[in-house]
Chains A and B, each alone.
Chain A
Amino acid sequence: MSETRLVVNDVSVEFTGLRALDQVSLFVATGEIVGLIGPNGSGKTTLINAITGQVKLATGQITLGDTTLSGLSPREIALRGVSRSFQIARLFNTMTVMENVEVAALAKGASRAVASQSAKMLLGELGLTVKADELGESLSYGDKRRVEIARALAAEPRFLLLDEPAAGMNDAETETLLHILAELPKKSGLGLLIIDHDMGLIMRLCSRLHVLASGHTIAEGDAAHVRSHPAVIEAYLGKGAVNA
């Protein structure tokens, strides 16, 4: 499979006077995992919202291969192969876990039989088979996150954007998740963009990192480069920490 890129070019987003993102550029290629990190309020979730069409761009554009995504509705962007999870899991609460996952395949045009088959498989992979018949609202935080990931995968995306997938998970669950996520690009050639505050997870998983602070890109590159970057240390630990 040839490499395709999801490219964010010079993107700015404004909320009534506040510049949440200021001329940010990054790309994710199929088959790689990119980490998006930065302190609270730095614009990480806004960037995912911008890619998936939930917020409008003030400047710049977003492309997937030859297709321009910016300006399309969330629905049209989803149908072009970009899936996401949400920072606060948004499950379909009164539907069963099985149905939650089936919906994603159905929305993409799969038949009922195919949708049910792929949902069963994904629930198995994510260790959710025993929960298949439970309602979305009855799950623990960790399970909700895994259902969201299964749901996003059921859409068979080319790019998957995960907003804090490990939040609310215990160490063992995080470890399992890490293995599942690490396999995805190899198995299906998926491109993965991950936001998380668990630096251990991010450092082990991602080949490249992109660091935001107050809506600006302050550093990008591999883990070692980012970790020692003065601007990153300053953003996380405050001024003065660089020389300490």
Chain B
Amino acid sequence: MLTLFLLLPVVGALLALFLPREREQDARWIALIFSTLAFAVSIVVFIWFDPSVDGYQMVDQFTWINPGRGGFVVQYVVGVDGLSAPLILLLGLLSVVAVLVSFSIEVRVKEYFAYLLLLETAVAGVFLSLDLIQFFLFWELELLPMYMLISLWGTGRNRYSAMKFLIYTLAGSAFMLVGFLVLGLEGGTFEIAKLAQTPPQDALVPLSMVFWAIMLAFLVKLPIFPFHTWLPDAHTDAPTAVSVMLAGVLLKMGGYGILRIVLPILPDQAYDFRVVLAALAGFSVVYGAVITLQQRDLKRLVAYSSVSHMGYVLLGIAALGSVGLSGAALQMFTHGTITGLLFVMVGLVYERTHTRQISEMTGLMHRMPLIGTVMLIAGLASLGLPGMSGFVAELTTFLGAFEPHPAATIASIFGVVLAAGYILWTVQRVFHGPADEKWAHLTDASHWWEYVAMGSLVITILAVGIFPQLLTDSIESGIAPIARIFEASA
């Protein structure tokens, strides 16, 4: 089942790539069909997933590399637990949305959708891999499609941004690989489950170095200050769909990696450095929010708000308790939907106005009431309004983090206040105010794919906000084994 989820997008990508030139435009339909199929599979996976059972489910496993002389045995092993099941669902949903908002792509359609689908497979591989080497492989596989998507279909300084994204990620993951190899040497295996069973007590190099080597990759990806500078550039210059994927699922790879690999395998080091992590998180939240307030570019604004919001994830993780960790996992999902939606809306506005400068836009509500309303919903969700998914996640995070890290939590709550400021202020400047003659020609969202993209995300945000149990059952079952490690040691 999970292997099917991995393979569907690749098959779609190959089909799209080998379309005859004159039927190039059909690539978007192939992409839609295959991403929808993958989404359907992800729904089935999520429903089949049984939160009351411990351990990984729906595991597919075979030995990928085993030359027979030992030393380098790599498994192909995929499985879901309560942690990855929601993320798979999120990935399935956002991939469909990403394909939909790309329907207006005109140049090199085949390649575009092929890369987009390849990206889905790479991210799916990261969420599903239960072997360190396999995890690393998919982690690296994601680089190429992202690099191509940003540098080919992006705008502005897209080449610079694409290269910056690439170098940051590669430099981060380089050290991660060293860490993985050292862990593999100590444990005699690369399987995550086996390594987590008997966490290494000692290694060739100090385990704290291994911890930071691996953490670096994940902190860059989240991203956390001071490793965040690639993100605003990548977001600003990327096409809409790529921004949706980037904010929606790629950043989650960082948080997921910490939860899946770092905490279970290196719990003592995580415990020792929890204050450092909390401090980084708190600083990131406030710093991100303050910088967001100063943005003049609509897309850059949403990008910086991501830095701030992903700080909550790290804060929840640094709490190292079941409540905080659940909050972090939930925040990953909700941020994916909310910020995904925000980027969809920014993309729709940009497609019409051809500017992202906030100062040039005013009174857009008169011309596009639907877009304005949905943008307002997304904004309210983003600032954590009760009844929407963001609120549940942030509240849980703060509840869990307050006791171990009061200072960082209070600072982060201050970040929420700032979020209210920048969101409402932005919506007011862009959508309200007197109608401008300059924008008289604008039209509201009218294509079916725009409706579907907006609608599906709005429904998800409201549904999770009103019935958080939809996700929390699953998440809690995924968090429980991790939380147990730390309860035992505390």
Q: Do A and B come from one complex?
A: no
Report B's interface with A, CB cutoff 8 A: none
